[in-house]
Structure 1
């Protein structure tokens, strides 16, 4: 009788707890709990090592830590953050102070409130760990110290304007009450601790927990029944006003699959729910996606194709010569030699909001071979000239042939020297090149003075191409004290108008990556932060 009574009570509690409809923020579309809960997905990741926030060593690690730890901020774009554990933040004192107030409703898995003491412990741990992704930002000369005002308030104090530090806080934090109070680990010793590979479950705060059955190559994430829920804004419309007791997926499996053809086959048979760019197979996958077999999306991967120009060379020190080289490139033809890329002239991460503003409001030098010839003549080179370009030996001939064809129109002969990676990087570092082709990563935080130095004595290696412009640095310092992006934007526009006209380097294009996912899987949104930053919003349509 007692057992029947308990069963009836459990059914009543279950039905009353989850009867309320969940409303999607922004659309007012309603879902019942049964429509949203449940489901398991399998995703491919690269190798995994360490699942402690602020100590990740691979992208696979970030997939795990962002699932089991709520970050302080999520990345909406490279210059736009969405608060997660944070309720309120403000840059003060000409960006020499950062005020952060944590949400009141956030807890560790064991129910312990998340506090400013956890942030302070985390900062001390990361600052002393050279392998931490946050180490460089914390050891920048501009970083000062962090003060805990009360249990929910901390202030970061900087020695100089340091607005980009905010981007370093896209990470979960460490549970002081576990690592320090229970395990007795000083923050400076945490990196060396044997506890570092997997966190205790009580030290997690995210929508998922790491299943003890997880092994390298097959990581299992289970929904956390103790999750405090997300904090939504207009950038993340799938965040619900009324959170269910459990997150929208019951289980996520992260598996390592080495061979591209194996990943593609597993994706097509439904063993994998998501597939990342496979460079030799993107075209056929996109065709299949267009037929409705699965979904796809493209997004900038944050890398650029560039040609370094060594300004120590007397010819390339002439702005007219650099402008002529730029104005003679036929981008429409060139991009055919750079598949999965989009032409651009601004070396700012295209995932940022400021990139879109710059691209729309700055006029690039036009494609005009005849005018380019005039520029060369005015610079003192009316006849034929020869330049050499150093490239990695694996670079496609089609790209180099396009550059040769473009520059041949203005009387510039391009000679190609192919090198192995070690020799190419050594020659660039030593300044032993005229031109050099590379694909490079963009800065996450928009750079206002890329490939630019303020003074001649700053030119230490060949990576500093030799472009010196003090005016751009004055603009950079002025922009750094502005409190927000809207007031910083005019300075970026002014700086890049100068930079674009001077052509310190040739920016050819930025790369695109593709993501393909199962038609039943909803939530992944390419180009809205990193995919792993919003796993709590993913669900399987039934």
Structure 2
């Protein structure tokens, strides 16, 4: 579905932004020039060359962290273990960013026009697009998907917020089978971002809902379904699924893309994802030749660079990760009380601790970014201070100076200033009511990089008298805590990054369903959130670039001053690919790695 920010589980470090981007010509994406690699043995990707003409045949095996998808339904999928499949393998969007330039390019829509008042986007669909069952893909599929599925409050989707402009949902109208119109009540910089949407097959879903009601859609294409029957609009169809083990794909026989010589894509005849419990296991699978692509961690570099000639693979420097990696603090109150079922939220005294600005500032002073980079990323990383990637035109250059830096002495002084002191000499601080300050810090299990970060952070906290218990948990359970039960204290997590942060419509405004500290607010509870909501309008309900940059600067300032999250570091993304693979041109953006180029990869 719409490629909005979603929780990220990146193989190299971390909860993988599934989604990406901006409207109009708001940004001028730059093609990367050939440069010298940061370390010997790495190849810098030259994206100037464009796609090579490949050849048919061959297979590819990819590793995916975790136990596999939570859903095969593209509207309901929320985490990358699912969206890697639903958004990239078996779905295609109306428009998408070009893999090489990152500029908007046609996909299922062959062209588009924006009205003079900049409120209406009219798209013309290709005349050669079909679902994998042979039925045509039409503008009515998109109109029905948005209006009858995503906009229905009975559907359990996290994407609805990303279709909102000026407080109102955008209007989708199929003018005929090939012409689709998207209208907004205000000028919006992200109309093309909204059009970065896929559809469900109306010819299958509409009869189901008419007979059984909308609730039937919430049960459609779950992991207990036969996924080989799911129609695809993307390059692949699911050919086999074995729970907790693997999922395989074969080419969609009706896929529309061809290469420069007219050969239908994909080139490969099969792709398989192996579900892998942790990155160490995945590394061993790659070295054994069981998987063909590996997202290289800093600690792996010295091992892999020594083996690349012997084992026949190439190592690529992809670029600084655009994803975020941060600690967030739960401030969602349990208004029903802990004795009631349903949404839990946070009870006292933890709610008071985590809602205290000085306490969060103290925690920010305990994030030792440079040590994480040196010891966990093995030097392959960069300090991170904002959710906006540094290469984005919307990055606030003042973020580096404004962010609180590692300073345990300052952390201790802040804790003293709010009377969080060790009252009984046991080494743990208590609040003024005598409650020992003890919190859990969760992250997704099996991701050793994240597990190392929460362990290091817990030690820093212990040094100043705060008891933090590291809690690795299953990724899907972590997502459930964030979007459903709200039953957590602190979480180390991440979101996929994008060229334009407008893709975070469900994250940064207070009403967003991934506004993690307290999602889905009817009105902003905190003054700074009200200011962010206003700045969101300033940044995005316009196409004026100066205004957009001003709005995004305000949002980044508020984030750094009020600390709903504290950022850690961006890893340098490195990838190892079987040397037999061609068309290896990944980008450091989720969806633009191996799965984003899967239809172009070929065996030499």
TM-score range, shorter chain: 0.5 to 0.7
Aligned to 1:220: 248
- Of 156, 159, 178, which residue of structure 1 is paired with 2:182? 156
* Aligned equivalent of 2:290: 271
Structure 2: distance between partners of 1:44 and 1:510: 24
Alpha-carbon shift at residue 468 of structure 1 (Å): 2.6
Q: Would you say the 8 A contact 1:248–1:536 is kept in 2?
A: yes
User: What is the CA–CA distance in structure 2 between the aligned matches of 1:30 and 1:450, rounded to whole Å?
Assistant: 38
Equivalent residue for 1:283, pick from 299, 302, 317: 299
Go from structure 1 to structure 2 and tell me whether the alpha carbon gap of 1:417 and 1:493 turns closer, same or farther (over 3 Å shift). closer
Where does residue 535 of structure 1 map in the other structure? Answer: 598
CA contact (8 A) 1:312 1:466 kept: no
Given that residues 125 and 138 in structure 2 are in contact (C-alpha distance below 8 angstroms), is that contact kept between their aligned partners in structure 1?
Answer: yes
Instruction: Give structure 2 stretches of 5+ with no counterpart.
Output: 1-45, 332-350, 423-428, 430-436, 443-450
Distance in 2, Cα, partners of 1:263 & 1:481: 44
- Name 2:467's counterpart in structure 1: 416
Q: 1:300 to 1:465 in 2, by over 3 A?
A: farther
Q: Hey, what's the Cα distance between the residues in 1 that align with 2:439 and 2:406?
A: 24
Range 85-94 or range 443-452, more displaced: 443-452
User: Secondary structure of 1:125's partner?
Assistant: helix
Q: Which residue of structure 1 aligns with residue 326 of structure 2? A: 305
**Equivalent in the alignment of 1:198:** 227
Asked whether the equivalents of residues 334 and 399 of structure 1 are also in contact (C-alpha less than 8 Å), the reply is no
Instruction: State the Cα distance separating 1:399 from its structure 2 match.
Output: 2.9
**Matching residue of 1:364:** 401
Residue of structure 1 in register with 2:457 after alignment: 399
Matched with 1:250 is 269
Q: Deviations over 1:187-246 (max 9, x none)?
A: 944444589643658x433333343x665544332234432216xxxxxxxxx4443134
C-alpha RMSD of the superposition: 5.5
Alpha-carbon distance in 1 for matches of 2:569, 2:558:
21
CA distance change for structure 1 residues 468 and 453 in 2, over 3 Å: closer, same or farther?
Answer: farther
Deviation per CA, 1:474-497: give whole Å up to 9, x if none.
332222211376762232134434
The answer to whether the aligner puts 1:483 opposite 2:536 as a matched pair is no
Between structures 1 and 2, the one with greater helix share: 1
Q: What is the rounded CA distance, in whole Å, between the counterparts of 1:315 and 1:227 in structure 2?
A: 51
Give 1:42 deviation, angstroms: 1.9
Greater displacement, 131-140 / 240-249: 131-140
Q: Count residues in correspondence.
A: 479
After TM superposition, give the deviation of residue 119 of structure 1 in Å.
0.8
TM superposition shift of 1:173: 1.9
Task: State the partner residue of 2:95.
Answer: 73
Structure 1: unaligned runs, 5 residues or longer = 1-23, 231-239, 406-412
When normalised by structure 2's length, the TM-score is 0.60
Does the Cα contact within 8 Å between 1:73 and 1:85 map onto a contact in 2? yes
Instruction: Say whether 1:86 aligns with 2:109.
Output: yes
Change in 2 beyond 3 A, CA 1:116/1:290: farther
Distance 1:526 1:39 in 2: 23
Could you state the TM-score of these two structures normalised by the residue count of structure 1? 0.66
Distance in 2 between residues matched to 1:343 and 1:508, nearest whole Å:
11
1:121–1:30 distance in 2 versus 1, CA, 3 Å: closer
**Bigger CA radius of gyration:** 1
Matched, 1:145 2:198: no
8 Å CA contact 1:125, 1:191 repeated in 2:
no
The Cα of 1:525 is off from its aligned counterpart by 1.1
Distance of 1:248 and 1:517 partners within structure 2: 17
Matching residue within 509, 514, 517 for 2:568:
509
